[in-house]
Structure 1
Amino acid sequence: MNTPIRVVLVDDQALFRAGIRMLIGSQPDLEVVGEASDGREAIGVVRETRPDVVLMDIRMPVLDGIAATAELLRDPNPPRIVMLTTFDLDEAAARAIRQGASGFLLKDAEPEFLLSAIRTVHAGSAVIAAAATHDLFTRFSDAAPAPVPDAYGTLTDREREIFALAARGLSNAEIAEREFLSEATVKTHISRILGKLSLRDRVQLVVFAFRHGLV
């Protein structure tokens, strides 16, 4: 049997944590290994338990989720961190994703979507609400674009087309339909693009595109 995906819950509402803990505990491939009620406590719990995925509330006392995420992502081999928010277009979530968070989830997301998101992030593809991530950066990316890295020039014409569509938040299935390709081919293109640009996942691809004015 495969080792369960280890999850830490960080939220200042004990009732919310209890509900998520019960939901995750009902899944044989998921396991809650720690909880925290503020960002400072979260840093200690995460470093002690070494989870695979952290569900991190943005707004908390003592230390908020953005600051806690920034500190944790400086650690060697940090966990994947998913921000929890009550707002679908949240400037704080955009800041956390720029720092390296793997995406964001609404607190009122459907249970199955939350469970799927944990598994997706753990698998490394980390495409949580890609279209929502694009909308987030459309609204909150007002900084001047940085110079385009040389690595972008190594993409083929086809890879640049796929990159542009992925940066707009289209899923593999949507790209496949639009470009008359199989989903497997699109997935291969995305993997090559991420490798060439040294990006971790689809969310970071969106960040890269906005950071360098490619959207």
Structure 2
Amino acid sequence: MCEVINIALLDDDSIFRQNLRNLLAHQDGICVVGTAENGADALLNLNFHKIDVVLIDVDMPVLDGVNTAKLLAKNYPELAIIMLTAFDHKESLSESLSTGVRGFLTKDIRGEQLATLIKQAHAGFQVLSPEPTRIMRKSYIERQRNIELYSGFADAIATLPRYLYPVFELLIKAKSNKEISKELHLSAATVRSYIAEIYSHTGINNRGELAVTAIKAGF
């Protein structure tokens, strides 16, 4: 007899759906009560009021996994949503987690482990496979590095001598030396000298990198 946790499976691969259903059928406390091949089919045909946990494939036709998760999270806030993927979906990972899904798992997960994580998600915990965890850790480290980089750049610009700031503003607007010289009524030699000072002050020595860094730092 099925008890406790009712599961819905959303995946466009019928063989994977059936295999997963068979796998979960042998796990205590879990019952698969519905399946669908895409988000639109699921929203039309499944009664989510009677479902506790839904496993959603990221890559589905008609209505993909992320957008399905958004709609379900909005309309069924008590529903535990777990995303499934066979690939490294960095963008889908971050977008899915921002909608409030309870988990992001790769499809190579073992049955016993999946059952355990389903129960944890149902209990309100966040669950992640090793690969999504690695992606999140890498993303966090990159964000921290960027924060340090752009904070240092902002500090450098804050202490930029005032006579250099107009040149800096035109540089990050991709103006040429000739255009800067004409707009600020400076000689070509002075413009070159001022740009060299800006490079030295910021630690950046080319126009493209200076412009990109300035944009990312909020200028």
Q: TM-score, normalised by structure 1?
A: 0.59
Report the structure number with the largest CA radius of gyration.
Answer: 2
The aligned counterpart of 2:53 is 53
Give the Cα–Cα distance (whole angstroms) in 2 for the partners of residues 50 and 77 of structure 1: 13
User: Residue 115 and residue 76 in structure 1: after superposition, are their counterparts in 2 closer, same or farther (change >3 A)?
Assistant: closer
1:56-115 deviation per Cα after TM superposition (whole angstroms, max 9, x unaligned): 000110010000000111114441110001124532122111111111111011221111
1:131-142 aligned at under 5 Å gives the runs 132-140=131-139
The aligned counterpart of 1:81 is 81
The aligned counterpart of 1:118 is 118
User: Residue 28 and residue 90 in structure 1: after superposition, are their counterparts in 2 closer, same or farther (change >3 A)?
Assistant: same
The aligned counterpart of 1:162 is none
Q: May I ask how many residue pairs the two structures share in their alignment?
A: 144
User: Residue 133 and residue 48 in structure 1: after superposition, are their counterparts in 2 closer, same or farther (change >3 A)?
Assistant: closer
Give the Cα–Cα distance (whole angstroms) in 2 for the partners of residues 26 and 83 of structure 1: 21
For the residue of structure 2 that corresponds to 1:73, the secondary structure is: helix
Give the Cα–Cα distance (whole angstroms) in 2 for the partners of residues 4 and 28 of structure 1: 9
Q: TM-score, normalised by structure 2?
A: 0.58
Structure 1 residue 23, shift from structure 2 partner? 1.2
1:30-65 deviation per Cα after TM superposition (whole angstroms, max 9, x unaligned): 100100101111223444553110100001100100
Whether the 8 Å CA contact 1:85–1:93 is kept in 2: the answer is: no
Structure 1 residue 133, shift from structure 2 partner? 4.7
Whether the 8 Å CA contact 1:82–1:102 is kept in 2: the answer is: yes
Structure 1 residue 139, shift from structure 2 partner? 4.5
The aligned counterpart of 2:157 is none
Whether the 8 Å CA contact 2:48–2:76 is kept in 1: the answer is: no
The aligned counterpart of 2:62 is 62
1:22-171 aligned at under 5 Å gives the runs 22-48=22-48, 50-88=50-88, 90-129=90-129, 132-140=131-139
The answer to whether residue 20 in structure 2 is matched with residue 20 in structure 1 is: yes
Q: Match for 2:74: what amino acid?
A: R
Whether the 8 Å CA contact 1:35–1:45 is kept in 2: the answer is: no
User: Residue 49 and residue 25 in structure 1: after superposition, are their counterparts in 2 closer, same or farther (change >3 A)?
Assistant: farther
Give the Cα–Cα distance (whole angstroms) in 1 for the partners of residues 7 and 61 of structure 2: 21
Structure 1 residue 128, shift from structure 2 partner? 3.1
Give the Cα–Cα distance (whole angstroms) in 2 for the partners of residues 48 and 120 of structure 1: 19
Q: Which segment drifts farther, 3-12 or 131-140?
A: 131-140
The aligned counterpart of 1:211 is none
Structure 1 residue 3, shift from structure 2 partner? 3.2
Structure 1 residue 138, shift from structure 2 partner? 4.2
1:107-136 deviation per Cα after TM superposition (whole angstroms, max 9, x unaligned): 01122111111111112223334x655533
Whether the 8 Å CA contact 1:91–1:140 is kept in 2: the answer is: no
For the residue of structure 1 that corresponds to 2:97, the secondary structure is: helix
Give the Cα–Cα distance (whole angstroms) in 2 for the partners of residues 91 and 109 of structure 1: 21
Structure 1 residue 28, shift from structure 2 partner? 3.5
Give the Cα–Cα distance (whole angstroms) in 1 for the partners of residues 60 and 73 of structure 2: 18
Gaps of 5+ in 1: 146-215
Whether the 8 Å CA contact 1:87–1:106 is kept in 2: the answer is: yes
User: Residue 76 and residue 112 in structure 1: after superposition, are their counterparts in 2 closer, same or farther (change >3 A)?
Assistant: closer
